[in-house]
């Protein structure tokens, strides 16, 4: 048992096999276009959780704890944990946006355009999309380039490094703030308009 659960890839694979079993068991007879639209909604929420979960890990755990980590232990976080967390963080952000955009077009032609133009009855989801797009831009164009400097993936002077760490932290905090109305609009937009 410890061998299976100790292996991340194997555990993930078992999760996927169980997912397929549930899908086939419950919905075998209804796998038409509408079903796959529904499935892309599932994928969107799954990668969205991965993204926002890591955003919350940075804001709830890593950033507040770093100042109290002894200097000789800090590289454990900056060299080993943070680069892996940032990898999943930025690609989960990208896939969430891509699947979200595809999902919108699958729900109905013109849905995406109306939502982005904040037209009724798509205003709520449109606000959620704009907030999500701002957050994704923050991840790729502010947090990641600055984290590369802060974590030493790109070599820079010490003062540039300190400024980059502060900029990345502020962009991350901005995303923490935006994530609450974003998530509210996503869920309300999908269910109550």
Binding site for ligand HEM (CB under 6 A): 41, 44-45, 48-49, 51-52, 96-97, 100-101, 103-104, 107, 125, 129, 132-133, 136, 183, 186-187, 189-190
In eight-state DSSP terms, residue 30 is: G
Between 76 and 181, whose beta carbon lies closer to ligand HEM?
181
- Shortest Cβ distance from residue 183 to ligand HEM (Å)? 6
Instruction: Kindly state the tokens that stand for 190.
Output: 């999908």
HSE, CB side, 13 Å, CA atoms: give it for residue 68: 4
Shortest Å distance, C-beta 49 to ligand HEM: 6
Token couple for 126:
């449109």
Residue 90 CB, nearest approach to ligand HEM (Å): 13
What is the DSSP-derived secondary structure letter of residue 151? T
Residue 99 C-beta: closest distance to ligand HEM, Å: 8
User: Between 136 and 165, whose beta carbon lies closer to ligand HEM?
Assistant: 136
Q: Measured between alpha carbons, how far is 161 from 103 in angstroms, rounded to an integer? A: 39
Distance of closest approach, residue 169 Cβ to ligand HEM, in angstroms: 20
Nearest residue (CB) to ligand HEM, 132 versus 149: 132
DSSP per-residue string spanning 56-124: HIIIIIIHHHGGGS-GGGHHIIIIIIHHHHHHHHHHHHHHHHHHHHHHHHHH-TTHHHHHHTT-TTSHH
Q: For ligand HEM, which is the closer residue by CB, 73 or 192?
A: 192
Residue that has been written with the tokens 């595809």 in this structure: 102
The Cα 131–Cα 111 span in angstroms is: 17
Provide, rounded to whole angstroms, the least separation between the CB of residue 87 and ligand HEM: 17
Give the nearer residue to ligand HEM in terms of CB position, either 121 or 152: 121
Nearer to ligand HEM, 41 or 161 (CB): 41
């Amino acid at each position: 048992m410890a061998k299976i659960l100790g292996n991340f890839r194997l555990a993930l694979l078992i999760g996927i096999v169980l997912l397929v079993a549930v899908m086939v068991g419950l919905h075998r007879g209804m796998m038409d276009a509408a079903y796959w639209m529904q499935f892309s909604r599932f994928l969107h929420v799954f990668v969205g959780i991965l993204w926002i979960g890591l955003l919350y890990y940075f804001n709830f755990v890593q950033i507040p704890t770093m100042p109290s980590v002894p200097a000789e232990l800090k590289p454990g976080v900056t060299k080993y944990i943070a680069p892996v967390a940032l990898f999943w963080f930025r690609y989960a952000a990208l896939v969430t946006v891509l699947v979200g955009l595809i999902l919108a077009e699958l729900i109905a032609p013109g849905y995406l355009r109306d939502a982005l133009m904040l037209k009724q009855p798509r205003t709520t989801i449109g606000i959620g999309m704009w907030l999500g797009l701002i957050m994704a831009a923050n991840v790729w164009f502010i947090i990641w380039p600055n984290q590369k400097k802060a974590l030493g993936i790109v070599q820079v002077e010490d003062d540039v490094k300190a400024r980059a760490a502060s900029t990345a932290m502020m962009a991350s905090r901005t995303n923490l703030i935006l994530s609450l109305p974003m998530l509210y609009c996503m869920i309300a937009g999908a269910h109550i308009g």
